[in-house]
Amino acid sequence: MPEFNCDFHIHSKYSGGTSKDMELPLIARQAELKGLHVVGTGDALHPGWISHLKEHLIEEDGLYKTKASETRFIIQTEVEDDRRVHHVIMLPSIGAAEDLSSKLAKYSVNINSDGRPNVRLNGEQIVGYVKDEGGLAGPSHAFTPWTSLYKEYNSISDCYGSNLRHVSFLELGLSADTDMADRIHELQDVTFMSNSDCHSPWPQRLGREFNRISVEELSFSEIVKAIRHESGRKFTLNAGLNPREGKYHITACTRCYTKFRMTDAVKLKMRCPECRGLIKKGVADRIEELASEDSPRHPSHRPPYMHILPLAEVIALAMKINNPNSKKVKDAWDKLVSEFKTEINILLDEPTGNIAKANKDIAAVIDKLRRDEIHYDAGGGGKYGTPSLEKSKENYYSCGQKTLKDW
């Protein structure tokens, strides 16, 4: 069965804090350069975005494409429920999105103004509405401290109740991976998704996490089968940031980003002694609380999880340049992608011997990436972690004294 790279969760220009460049023709083109075959549309309940979808997209087997590109779009949105839990929603058509939007409108004050609307319904009710449209829903970035399932509940069933059997996926988010989430026994049957949740179309963001799926052909129903791991259709790979690069991996201050061990954070009543800012529990500590196993137990359907970096960050590491947005990095990126077709091909698949002929330093870093030998100064409190070729000491606040301790 052929394999396809899919990023099932993005946002449009109509969500808060997003780039005005988030329009379909550009997203489709950037997806080609990244090496993504399927991308979520984002924000499919928003009337302005629905008009944009109708203007640009042609339907094909429950997925959509623009005139100029083979990139497929899956109709997708995200909503925030009445307890500030986020849910990813995928739908079989633009018509289903319009229908769902009109049904949810009476529970939402901002469905016409915000790409990611707040809906005064609980998780169970939201899944009910989505199921009636022939769609799928599941938790977004399930472990993050502000707006996720596990910041609010200790069990997935507490959120979805009688509709839990209709929830077949969970999005890991940038600060978690399969090894972490497979310590929670109740998630054994759930498919883990690694999506970018991106707010801009550039390849450092779009597809920074993606899923590789094996299906007969690209259609909405085949994707649903893969998510439910039915009839041999399945996810064959999750690829995404090392959780240590995620913004909420370590428990840390949201103002000055000082990192804390959980026991110290509790002693300090979640107030930062450095700046009085709020300390937010990191995903690593939250999973430690939820874990039923000391080490991950992977079910047989679980694919490997590969830690990747955006190619621009790989190039910046190789060239010892701090800013991955610099012109030098951009020029090297253009050269490599024009030679080796897509960013994902370069990161995952192209033999590094071939890449070394173009640039041996970059090939060496890609070798390290594929062997999972990149180090990270971990992120937390809303600040991304930073990759590095050298192992550095992790700096934690400790009650009484500041100490340098090995991670």
26 or 256, CB closer to Zn ion?
A: 256
- Cα–Cα dist 187/283, whole Å: 16
CB of 271 to Zn ion, least distance (A): 9
Pairing relationship of beta strands 38-40 and 3-7 according to DSSP bridges = parallel
199 binds Zn ion (CB under 5 A): no
How many whole angstroms separate alpha carbon 195 and alpha carbon 227? 13
By CB under 5 A, residue 309 contacts Zn ion? no
CB of 181 to Zn ion, least distance (A): 17
174 binds Zn ion (CB under 5 A): no
Cα 295 to Cα 93, 142, 149, 261, 286, distances in angstroms: 41, 19, 22, 20, 15
Interface with Zn ion in residues 124-163 (CB under 5 A): 140
CA distance 117 to 51: 17
Q: How far is the CB of 37 from Zn ion (least distance, A)?
A: 23
Among 272, 287, 332, 363, binds Zn ion (CB under 5 A): 272
Burial class (CB in 10 A: 0-12, 13-18, 19+), 45: buried
Task: Confirm or reject binding of residue 250 to Zn ion (CB under 5 A).
Answer: no
3-state SS of the chain: helix, strand, coil percent to 5?
Answer: 35, 20, 45
Closer CB to Zn ion, residue 109 or residue 275? 275
Task: Say whether residue 270 binds Zn ion (CB under 5 A).
Answer: no
Distance of CA 290 to the CA centre of its chain: 21
CB 288 within 8 A of CB 251: no
* Nearest to Zn ion of 253, 283 (CB atom): 253
Longest dimension (CA), the chain: 63
SS3 state at 405: strand
Residue 312 and residue 318: Cα distance in Å, rounded?
A: 10
Identify each DSSP E strand in 255-352 by its residue range.
259-260, 279-280, 305-307
275 belongs to the binding site for Zn ion (CB under 5 A): yes
Q: What angle do CA 382, 386, 389 make, to 5 degrees?
A: 165
Does 253 help bind Zn ion (rule: CB under 5 A)?
yes
**Residue 76 interacts with Zn ion (CB under 5 A)?**
no
Mark residues 82-101: x for contact with Zn ion by CB under 5 A, - for none: ----x---------------
Total binding residues for Zn ion by CB under 5 A?
10
Nearer to Zn ion, 62 or 139 (CB): 139
Shortest CB 25 distance to Zn ion, Å: 25
213 binds Zn ion (CB under 5 A): no
CB of 386 to Zn ion, least distance (A): 19
Nearer to Zn ion, 17 or 351 (CB): 17
Q: Judged by CB under 5 A, does residue 364 bind Zn ion? A: no
Nearest Cα neighbor of 395 from 182, 187, 250 is: 250
Using CB under 5 A, which of 132, 189, 274, 334 touches Zn ion?
A: 274
User: Which position among 255, 261, 370, 375 is part of the footprint of Zn ion (CB under 5 A)?
Assistant: 255
Tell me which residues touch Zn ion (CB under 5 A): 86, 140, 253, 255-256, 258, 272, 274-275, 277
